[in-house]
Amino acid sequence: MANLTADALGRWTGEGTSQHYPRLVMNDPNMNFSRSSDFYVESGAFFRIKNIQLGYTLPEKWAKVLSLGKTRFYGTINNALTFTKYSGFDPEIGAGNGVDRGIYPQARSFIFGVNVTFL
């Protein structure tokens, strides 16, 4: 009934199994997943490269051959890279009292374009 990380596969299933991740049951009588506790605490440290843009402007003599003014080709990546040991989707996004509730991470987008000034 919830999105959980792959750690849930190592949950407690009986004697001799995981002592770290509690058992998973529908009614959760021990309230393992409904109360905030140090079970959820981990470092959210991260380094992110948000935007990268690379462009090339054609030399004017080449643009004139094509009957164009200034011509620039470019590509941009938004939310390019994130370096972290955080096990959740996105260390920058959380909800409520600091507990990561599995909110979707920020989208990465790729943009390509041409900026042309006509003569």
Q: Are residues 24 and 60 both part of a single domain?
A: no
Q: Are residues 54 and 103 both part of a single domain?
A: yes
Calpha distance 71→91 (Å, rounded): 39
- HSE at residue 34, side-chain half, CA atoms within 13 A, is 7
What is the domain count for the chain? 2
Give me the phi and psi of 109, to 5 degrees please. Answer: -130, 145
Structure confidence at residue 66 (pLDDT):
82
CA dihedral over 13, 16, 17, 22, signed as positive or negative: positive
Structure confidence at residue 53 (pLDDT):
97
**Mean pLDDT, the chain cut into blocks of 10 residues (119 residues total):** 69 74 75 72 89 94 85 95 88 69 85 91
Q: Are residues 52 and 87 both part of a single domain?
A: yes
Q: Are residues 51 and 102 both part of a single domain?
A: yes
Structure confidence at residue 3 (pLDDT):
66
Q: Are residues 52 and 90 both part of a single domain?
A: yes
The domain of 25 spans 5-9+11-35
Q: Are residues 27 and 49 both part of a single domain?
A: no
Structure confidence at residue 65 (pLDDT):
84
**Is the pTM above the cut of 0.75?**
no
